[in-house]
Chains A and B, each alone.
Chain A
Amino acid sequence: MIATESLSKRFPRVTALDRLSLDIGPGVTGLVGANGAGKSTMIKILLGLSPATEGRAEVLGLDVATSGAAIRERVGYMPEHDCLPPDVSATELVVHMARMSGLPATAARERTADTLRHVGLYEERYRPIGGYSTGMKQRVKLAQALVHDPKLVLLDEPTNGLDPVGRDEMLGLIRRVWTDFGISVLVTSHLLGELERTCDHVVVIDGGRLLRSSSTSDFTQTTATLAVEVTDSDTHPDGTRALREALTAAGITLHAGVEDGLPGAGHILLLEATGEETYDLVRDTVADLGLGLVRMEQRRHHIAEVFRPQQANQQEEVPTR
């Protein structure tokens, strides 16, 4: 779908992309990086709108430097920022955008009705966009990127500004774009956790350089961080400490201080789950101590963990140069 070869983009003051080589296949791919990591620059280059300083990139087998228009005909793009005029309805806007992609008038109308239904907009699609909620606006933005049935869509921070429920719905929708519609997706985010659930493959970039590129199954296989919280009892006035000592004695690796600064951090134990038996061991240990188990849950990886060297060692390491 997408291939880049030592792709670089330098502005007078900053290097946005630094010799980035990627090979992205069909499916849902997450592009993760902090703000300013070069995600948006990358998308601009892939759409053939901004020339690369060095290196080359191909989208759908077409060179971005020479076949920009052909690429843009078969690729959809959803911008990060607000881009919808408030005084037209979703239907009017999406029909217009379908025609801008080259669809004849009748086809544009049919595809618009279909696409808006697929992203979950029904009767409200005839009302002016100005009255829509953020979630609905994001759906319209997604619809205009899908209306011409592209082979690939580039979604720039599609979950921005959404509440947790809206986020989950959007991620589910993105997953369906690939599984049900057969359209490959490149989705950017600064949250690794949310992409982990949606994507088949995750690419992490930082400062314009490739930090890691691996399939999401690799992420989940290696380690799962387990968060455990217990109550105190009369025999163990500090239940958390008692459990920590008991687990350390049982040979389990405990993480220290990852969640420092978060509310309740002092009462949560983070430990490394190596397999099913760890869960059983924790359960039995808690029961033996006579404590109440408040929670035992898997923690999502945070982007920061990728930067932690000990974590990186366990991953398939990709040379950054």
Chain B
Amino acid sequence: MSIETTRTETTQIHNIGYRNYDGPRLGRAYARRSLFSQSLRGAYGLGRSAKSKVLPMILFAVMCVPAAIIVAVAVATKMKDLPLDYTRYAIFTQALIGLYLAAQAPQSVSRDLRFKTVPLYFSRPIERVDYVLAKFGAMAGALFILTASPLVILYIGSLLAKMDFADQSKGFGQGLVSVALLSLLFGGIGLVMAALTPRRGFGVAAVIATLVISYGAVTTLQGIAYGTDNIDAIKWMGLFSPITLIDGVQTAFLGATSSFPAGAGPSAGLGALYLLVVLALILGSYAVLMRRYRKVGL
């Protein structure tokens, strides 16, 4: 009898003390998925402070408002076609996309570098490649949500307005491919800029500067070329800024109308070069990030 009493007491003491964990350990792939979803949610301020939700949510809303207005007008006036192509929407709203990237890319990577949180990750099962893939995927995913959502609104609206289904689906599909490429390209560029600067403010400035300066320079030069009737030069210049690259690729392969001066987008041959440059930039961003984290790992 007395032995049993002692046993019960021991159990009780054990229960309020330290408990060992013998549940499942889900390993590397699970950790990578967790980091991806945490970063993706973080890009919209979810799971973070109320203050950090403000900017991404406002930008998301502002991205969608024009689409909603277009749809409302199209439905009300019973248009036969949308007044704005799916592929044109991202070009049209590029300033918002740039702003979103400038705000969220440093948030995603600079904080870990600045507060030296990175060693906490690398002392766990995940490796450099998992960290980079999760962060890259999350940033591109967040941009895709931002750029694809208005297209979804346009598509649903076009179906409500009983526009030609096959035509709209094709346009919508082309638009999605285009923004997917754009998300990967912009996400890569944004993360590289942010990962090179532990200071968040510098990261924001660097991303904006890269996007604005390259786009500004390209359009200015294209304008000059247009003024001197040098149409060929316009086509080549598009290779030198991220958004004109996307414009070139979708003009050549995704049935888009180019927003270059005189609509002088690249033909399929030059378009292939555009696509190569886009893919090289995406892979290059990944390589730079891998290099960068080789140095800071612990």
Q: What CA separation (Å) do A50 and B123 show in the bound complex?
A: 11
Question: What residues of B have a CB within 8 angstroms of the CB of A83 in the complex?
Answer: 115-117, 119-120
Q: Mark the stretch among A21-29, A51-59, A69-77 that contacts chain B.
A: A69-77
Interface residues of A in 38-55 (CB under 8 A from B): 44, 47, 49-50
Q: Mark the stretch among B2-10, B19-27, B245-253, B275-283 that contacts chain A.
A: B19-27
The smallest beta-carbon distance between A178 and chain B, in angstroms, is 11
- Say yes or no: A180 contacts B17, CB within 8 Å: yes
The smallest beta-carbon distance between A41 and chain B, in angstroms, is 11
Question: What residues of B have a CB within 8 angstroms of the CB of A111 in the complex?
Answer: 21
- Say yes or no: B34 contacts A118, CB within 8 Å: no
Contact partner of B120 (CB less than 8 A), chosen from A50, A73, A97, A107, is A97
The 0/1 profile, CB within 8 Å of B marked 1, for residues 172-199 of chain A is 0000000011100000000000000000
Question: What residues of B have a CB within 8 angstroms of the CB of A69 in the complex?
Answer: 27-28, 125, 127
Measured CB to CB, the nearest residue on chain B to A74 is B25
Contact partner of A107 (CB less than 8 A), chosen from B23, B48, B111, B126, is B23
Q: What CA separation (Å) do A49 and B24 show in the bound complex?
A: 24
A297 CB-CB contact with B under 8 Å = no
Question: What residues of A have a CB within 8 angstroms of the CB of B117 in the complex?
Answer: 83-85
Measured CB to CB, the nearest residue on chain A to B112 is A85
The smallest beta-carbon distance between A3 and chain B, in angstroms, is 20
Question: What residues of B have a CB within 8 angstroms of the CB of A81 in the complex?
Answer: 116
- The verdict on A47 contacting B49 (CB below 8 Å), with A82-B115, A84-B117, A101-B25 known, is no
- Say yes or no: B26 contacts A97, CB within 8 Å: no
How many pairs of residues, A versus B, come closer than 8 Å at their CB atoms? 103
- Say yes or no: A102 contacts B26, CB within 8 Å: yes
User: Contact size class for A?
Assistant: 35 or more
The smallest beta-carbon distance between B209 and chain A, in angstroms, is 25
Interface residues of A in 121-152 (CB under 8 A from B): 144, 148-149
Question: What residues of B have a CB within 8 angstroms of the CB of A47 in the complex?
Answer: 123, 298
The smallest beta-carbon distance between A100 and chain B, in angstroms, is 5
Contact partner of B111 (CB less than 8 A), chosen from A50, A79, A85, A101, is A85
The smallest beta-carbon distance between A51 and chain B, in angstroms, is 13
Contact partner of B126 (CB less than 8 A), chosen from A75, A79, A100, A144, is A100
Question: What residues of A have a CB within 8 angstroms of the CB of B295 in the complex?
Answer: none
Measured CB to CB, the nearest residue on chain A to B17 is A180
Question: What residues of B have a CB within 8 angstroms of the CB of A259 in the complex?
Answer: none
- Say yes or no: B298 contacts A101, CB within 8 Å: no
- The verdict on A102 contacting B116 (CB below 8 Å), with A96-B38, A114-B19 known, is no
- The verdict on A73 contacting B125 (CB below 8 Å), with A82-B115, A100-B35 known, is yes
- Say yes or no: A101 contacts B124, CB within 8 Å: yes
- Say yes or no: A103 contacts B21, CB within 8 Å: yes
- Say yes or no: B125 contacts A72, CB within 8 Å: yes
A-B contact pairs, 12 of them (CB 8 A): A49-B298, A72-B123, A72-B125, A73-B124, A81-B116, A83-B119, A84-B117, A97-B120, A100-B124, A102-B25, A102-B31, A107-B24
